[in-house]
């Protein structure tokens, strides 16, 4: 009887230890400090300026591209805030808006500058994923 009671208690302690370890492995919320946010924003701006320079955009074109990008950001925020849409609807609307936005960029920049701009952005995105 003592052996059975001791075995049950040992199993109970082991199970409790395993549960505690699993709880500590729960994913932590990804929060950034103000410094990290500022660094990320500065990197994003530097990458954007590099893309502008590489694509050979004029100051006027840069301002117009920034305006389009701000519209994209605002649309994304409103789309994310709209809880009435399903994930599929949200994805479809996002893709549709992306195509319209890219059409505006192509019209504004022309085929050559648009391709150069997108190539630089793609390379920057791949480099960021590599880190």
Q: Is a pLDDT exceeding 80 seen at residue 23?
A: no
Residue 23 within a domain: no
Q: Is a pLDDT exceeding 70 seen at residue 25?
A: no
Q: Is a pLDDT exceeding 60 seen at residue 126?
A: yes
Residue range(s) defining the domain that contains residue 89: 34-130
Neighbouring residues of 65: CB distance < 8 A, sequence distance ≥ 6:
52, 57, 105, 108, 109, 117
Q: What is the rounded average pLDDT of the residues 65-83? A: 90
Residue 19 within a domain: no
Please tell me the total number of residues recorded for the chain in this structure: 131
Which pLDDT score is estimated for 68? Answer: 92
How many structural domains does the chain have? 1
Residue 78 within a domain: yes
Residue 2 within a domain: no
Q: Is a pLDDT exceeding 60 seen at residue 26?
A: no
Q: CA-based diameter of the chain, in Å?
A: 87
Looking at residue 56, what DSSP letter applies? T
Measured over the CA atoms of residue 34, residue 35, residue 40 and residue 41, the dihedral's sign is positive
């Amino acid at each position: 009887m003592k052996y059975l009671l001791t075995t049950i208690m040992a199993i109970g302690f082991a199970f409790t230890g395993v549960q505690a370890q699993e709880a500590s492995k729960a994913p932590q919320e990804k929060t950034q400090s103000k410094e990290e946010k500022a660094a990320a924003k500065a990197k994003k701006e530097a990458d954007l300026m590099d893309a502008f320079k590489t694509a050979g955009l004029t100051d006027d074109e840069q301002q117009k591209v920034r305006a389009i990008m701000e519209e994209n950001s605002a649309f994304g925020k409103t789309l994310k805030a709209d809880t009435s849409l399903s994930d599929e609807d949200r994805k479809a609307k996002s893709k549709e808006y992306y195509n319209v936005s890219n059409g505006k960029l192509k019209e504004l920049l022309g085929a050559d500058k648009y391709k150069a701009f997108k190539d630089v952005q793609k390379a920057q995105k791949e480099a960021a994923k590599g880190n």
